């Protein structure tokens, strides 16, 4: 058998080596790409668990955030979603919400590594990057690198619903027969986990407030109103008299208390960074919830969220340095005023407008009772 010339043999050998080297290069590239995709993004611990089963999520930030994977979640860059870039560059939260609804987006994953601006005059993207308080979005989970927000569903009430809440609260605190849940308009009895707070003010100063959680806004309001009346009655001497005498001259406010992001990191610089004047400190511990409203947070913390947490832990009988405890979940709280009932009489001698009015009639459509 004739052997190939030596130079052809060397050429074939070189091609084989080149092919093998190419295969190794391709395998290396594939392995590298797989490793890049599987590599965690620093500073995002815990966020993927919160992303599970949330559907489509818009990513406001770099491509590397697409590496964050969770079952039941589909990430897409905000720049690729029709209309979202323009909405983020503007100031209209309603316009942003319309874009999210139109594109079936349930949440927003925000890169917080670039400087943002939480001021209301900033663009929506700047406010999100600063982990700011939004009206149309609710913070879910906050880490030093990225924050997850979701659309606020069911808690964006119009003025008429707020009036109904305030009238009902005054009725309950005033000791009238408790209205039936079915008497409330549908948006207020819709099933959802919510916390409602009733606050009594006199002379521009909060005298008493109580909150309650419930399976609907109506149910939570009924409980909060009843507890507020009971608490005043228990302390009526210290409060300055009976609630039935004082209530007609007091302003009553109803707030929806909402979580605005669990803290995925409790290092002091991060905590101080993510709390704005609109936020109160709050934590959950073994099935109980504790919080300071935004104003007391600023006052008692003297401008420091960490110091405010220490005060809150002290109130709850926990060590002041409990922020890092494993069994404790810390989160931001916002108090959104849903409705206000101004004083209904200016002098004790005037009759109460609630006399001879049935509890359920007070929840009639706006305009049915002019005095209320």
pLDDT tens-digit readout, 139-165: 999 999 999 999 987 667 888 899 999
Least confidently predicted of 2-16, 70-84, 192-206, 212-226 = 2-16
Say if residues 250 and 257 touch (Cβ distance below 8 Å): no
CB 146 within 8 A of CB 47: yes
pLDDT per residue over 232-250, tens digit each?
A: 999 999 999 999 999 999 9
277-280 long-range contacts, Cβ below 8 Å, gap at least 24?
A: 278/133, 278/334, 279/133, 279/305, 279/332, 279/333, 279/334, 280/332, 280/333, 280/334, 280/335
Query: Which domains, and CATH codes, for the chain?
Result: 47-151 (3.40.50.12610), 157-372 (no CATH)
Give the bridge partners for 251, in sequence order.
201
Residue in 215, 240, 195, 206 with CA at minimum distance from that of residue 338:
195
Q: What is the pLDDT of residue 7?
A: 52
Of the chain, the percentage scoring pLDDT greater than 90 comes to: 67
How far, in Å, CA of 132 to CA of 260, rounded? 9
**Average pLDDT over every residue of 86-91:** 96
With bands split at pLDDT 50, 70 and 90, how would you rate the model's confidence at 356? Answer: very low
3-state secondary structure of 10: helix
| Residue 370 Cα to chain centre, angstroms | 35
Which of 18-27, 106-115, 150-159, 237-246 shows the lowest per-residue confidence on average (mean pLDDT)?
A: 18-27
The span from the CA of 6 to the CA of 171, in Å, is 104
Higher pLDDT, 112 or 118: 112
Per-residue model confidence (pLDDT) at position 130: 95
pLDDT of residue 96: 96
Task: Give me the phi and psi of 235, to 5 degrees please.
Answer: -125, 30
Q: What is the mean pLDDT of the chain?
A: 85
């Amino acid at each position: 058998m004739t052997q190939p010339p030596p130079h052809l043999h060397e050429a074939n050998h070189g091609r084989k080596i080149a092919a093998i080297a190419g295969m190794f290069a391709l395998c290396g590239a594939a392995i590298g790409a797989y490793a890049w995709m599987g590599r965690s993004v620093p500073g995002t611990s815990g966020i993927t668990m919160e992303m599970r089963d949330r559907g489509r999520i818009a990513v406001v930030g770099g491509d590397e955030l697409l590496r964050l994977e969770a079952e039941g979640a589909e990430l897409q860059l905000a720049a690729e979603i029709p209309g979202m870039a323009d909405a983020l560059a503007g100031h209209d939260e309603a316009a942003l919400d319309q874009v999210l609804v139109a594109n079936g987006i349930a949440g927003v994953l925000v890169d917080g590594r670039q400087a943002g601006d939480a001021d209301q005059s900033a663009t929506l993207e700047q406010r999100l990057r600063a982990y700011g308080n939004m009206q149309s979005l609710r913070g879910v989970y906050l880490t030093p690198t990225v924050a997850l927000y979701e659309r606020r569903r069911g808690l964006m009430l119009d003025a008429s619903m707020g009036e109904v809440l305030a009238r009902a609260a005054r009725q309950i605190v005033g000791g009238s027969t408790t209205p039936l849940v079915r008497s409330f308009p549908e948006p207020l009895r819709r099933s959802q986990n919510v916390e409602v707070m009733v606050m009594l003010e006199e002379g521009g100063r909060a005298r008493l407030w109580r909150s309650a959680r419930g399976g609907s806004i109506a149910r939570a309001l009924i409980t909060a109103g009843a507890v507020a009346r009971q608490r005043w009655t228990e302390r009526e001497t210290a409060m300055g008299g009976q609630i039935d005498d004082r209530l007609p001259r007091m302003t009553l406010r109803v707030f929806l208390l909402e979580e605005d992001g669990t803290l995925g990191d409790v290092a002091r610089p991060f905590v101080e960074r993510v709390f704005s004047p609109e936020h109160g400190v709050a934590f959950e511990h073994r099935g109980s919830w504790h919080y300071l409203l935004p104003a007391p947070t600023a006052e008692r913390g003297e401008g420091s969220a960490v110091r405010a947490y220490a005060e809150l832990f002290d109130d709850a009988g926990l060590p002041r340095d409990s922020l890092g405890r494993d069994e404790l979940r810390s989160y931001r709280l916002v108090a959104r005023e849903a409705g206000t009932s101004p004083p209904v009489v200016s002098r004790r001698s005037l009759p109460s407008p609630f006399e001879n009015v049935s509890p359920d009639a007070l929840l009639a459509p706006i305009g049915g009772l002019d005095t209320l």
